[in-house]
Amino acid sequence: MAGDPFLSDPSKKRKRNRVTSLAKKQKTPTPSPAPHDSEISSESDLSGSEDEAKFEKEDGDLESEDEFAAEGAAEKRRRLAKQYLDNLKAQEIDGDDFDAADLDEDHLARRLQEDVAETKGYVYKFYSDKVEPQLGEVQPRTVRIGSKNVTGVSVKYPYIYTVSKDMELIKWRHTSGKKPQRVKHTKGGSRFFKLNASNPSANHHWDQINCVAASPDGKFVVTGGSDARLIIWSAENLSCLKVLDTREAVNSITFRRGTDQLYAACADLRIRTFSINQFAQLEILYGHQDNITDISALGRETCVSVGSRDKTAMFWKIAEESRLTFRGGDAEKKRKKTDDVAAAAPEAAFHAEGSIDVVSMVDESHFVTGSDNGNVALWSLSKKKPCFTQRVAHGLLPQFEPSQASAETQEDVAARQIPERQPYWITAIYSVPYSDIFITGSYSGEIKVWRIDRENFRKFSLLGSVAMKGVVVNIDGADLQDDKKLVVYVATGKEHKLARWLGKVEGRNALTCLTFDL
């Protein structure tokens, strides 16, 4: 019965007698024949010296590791913090305008607070007091673009990239104090680009380009168009590197700060994420019920998008695979007596919100939106409704003449048929990342700069305006910390970037830059 598996002791059966002697496990190595002296070349001598240097370097690394091997966690944190402060001091000393007084504890504390604030996504750049006195005297530098109609602009200073409806991508270089200079361009369509019938995916855009984005590392430029394509270009020579197909038109794209992760808002009600370094799509986000017209992102793995006529803004937490939905649809009953417009002109007609068209993130927990009824709204992740709404932000359209509104010959009858004045759409919005100012654009002949209240971050007010003819289709900027300047680039055209809804608008296709000293 000793061989019966049901009666045997399982503990004894599972245990095996392990050989503790290493001599039994080790095999006797086969001796290799020694190389002949004549077979040893000078290359082996060089490799031998390289190996010796490598071993010496590894020994030095081991010695440095042994030096800190005995330190505890608190000592390690203290050592790294001291090293970080030394690096900050070295950066300040390397500057041209070095002053020993700048290296005091208050200055280092401010630098530490800024680094922590940007890491956590807080607003820490308060530029409004410095920008406000310059608005009346700033000199716009405008360069005309001979394209059909400009649709987008993106900045990786000192280079700027613009796209247009005639499928043209232009690379510009901007030098301080001068107008942007054209460096290179490429144009799509069968007239300017030879089509490849055997490999259609290698072709240029064959329909209008709607948006452009430059990668944070400056190596790539990505464009999206109505031909349902994302094309990745080399930023150096504007050569096509990869074509990524989408199901519908691409309306807006943006990069996550400091990474190669790209977010694309498409007309098929989906948001697609891409890794540009890998030339690959990562995932698709669902939720909007209408055409997604704009998208914005900062440093975290999140983004916010607006769905035009579904009147929602959605904040996407990509890593957590969740989203927050913020519903607009401003109605007359939502007006408060404390609103600027209602207090200043209580008899003014109310204009319902039909779509939310543009969005820009202020920091990781706040963003601003613009609508077709002239509303500019400030949102917070802690509230489902806007913290503050500025209605008719860019004013109302001019009143129609009786002859323009009616074919009646009697003037009094024609006057009764004049429609009420409509507000200017908000066609572009740009918030300087992690700052207290943002800029809105329309076709009212000016762009407006707004200041967010720094005390409670619950409202904003008008800081000033700068004259700007044409339809403001897109705004981007560069915050130059070393030069202590803020450069804002405004792309203007003669019509809206998606269609010809606005009729005839006075202006021209141009790129305008505004420089503010900080």
Q: What is the DSSP annotation of 414-472?
A: HHHTPPPP-BPP--EEEE-TTBSEEEEE-SSSEEEEEEE-TTTSS-EEEEEEEE--SEE
Topology of domain 126-336+360-403+411-517 in CATH is: Methylamine Dehydrogenase; Chain H (2.130.10)
**pLDDT tops 60 at residue 15:** no
Q: Which of 16-25, 117-126, 468-477 has the largest mean confidence?
A: 468-477
For the cut 60, the answer to whether the pLDDT of residue 468 exceeds it is yes
For 396, which DSSP code? B
pLDDT at site 26: 47
pLDDT at 6 over 70: no
Question: What pLDDT is attached to residue 303?
Answer: 97
Q: Mapping DSSP to helix (H, G, I), strand (E, B) and coil, where does residue 88 land? A: helix
Lowest mean per-residue pLDDT among 199-213, 234-248, 300-314, 414-428? 199-213
The pLDDT, as a whole number, for residue 379 is 97
Q: Flag whether pLDDT at 212 surpasses 50.
A: yes
pLDDT value for 9: 54
pLDDT at 200 over 90: no
Q: Are 271 and 265 spatial neighbours (Cβ–Cβ below 8 Å)?
A: yes
Q: What is the pLDDT of residues 231-280, one digit of tens each?
A: 999 999 999 899 998 989 999 999 999 999 999 999 999 999 999 999 99
Whether residue 45 has pLDDT greater than 80: no
pLDDT of residue 20: 44
pLDDT at position 21, please? 43
CB 244 within 8 A of CB 274: yes
The residue with greater pLDDT, 124 or 47, is 124
406 falls in which pLDDT band (50, 70, 90)? confident
**Distance from the first to the final alpha carbon of the chain:** 93
pLDDT > 70 fraction of the chain, expressed in percent and rounded: 74
Give dist(CA 400, CA 214) in Å, integer. 42
> What does the pLDDT look like over 425-461, one tens digit per residue?
999 999 999 999 999 999 999 999 999 998 888 999 9
Per-residue pLDDT of 348-405, as tens digits, reads 678 889 999 999 999 999 999 999 999 999 999 999 999 999 999 999 999 888 877 7
- Return the domain boundaries, the chain: 126-336+360-403+411-517
> Do residues 388 and 330 make contact, with C-beta atoms less than 8 angstroms apart?
no
Question: What global pTM score does this model have?
Answer: 0.76
pLDDT digits 0-9 by tens, 47-64: 444 444 444 444 444 444
Q: Whole-angstrom Cα distance, residue 58 to residue 448?
A: 60
The SS3 of residue 171 is strand
Please count the residues of the chain. Answer: 518
Q: Which of 211-220, 234-243, 498-507 has the lowest mean pLDDT?
A: 498-507
Confidence of residue 39 (pLDDT cuts 50, 70, 90): very low
Calpha distance 448→441 (Å, rounded): 7
pLDDT, mean of residues 63-74: 64
For 4, 5, 20, 23, the CA distances from 17, given in Å and listed in that order, are 21, 19, 9, 16
More confident site: 86 or 94 = 86
* Mean pLDDT value of segment 285-302: 95
Closest CA to 313 of 329, 332, 291, 328: 328
Q: Is the peptide bond before 158 cis (omega within 30 degrees of 0)?
A: yes
Greater pLDDT, 85 or 413? 413
Q: Which one is predicted more confidently, 120 or 407?
A: 407
The CB density around residue 486, as the number of other CB atoms within 10 Å, is 23
The DSSP line for 310-338 is T-EEEEEETTTTEEEEEE----GGG--TT
Q: How confident is the model at residue 302 (pLDDT cuts 50, 70, 90)?
A: very high
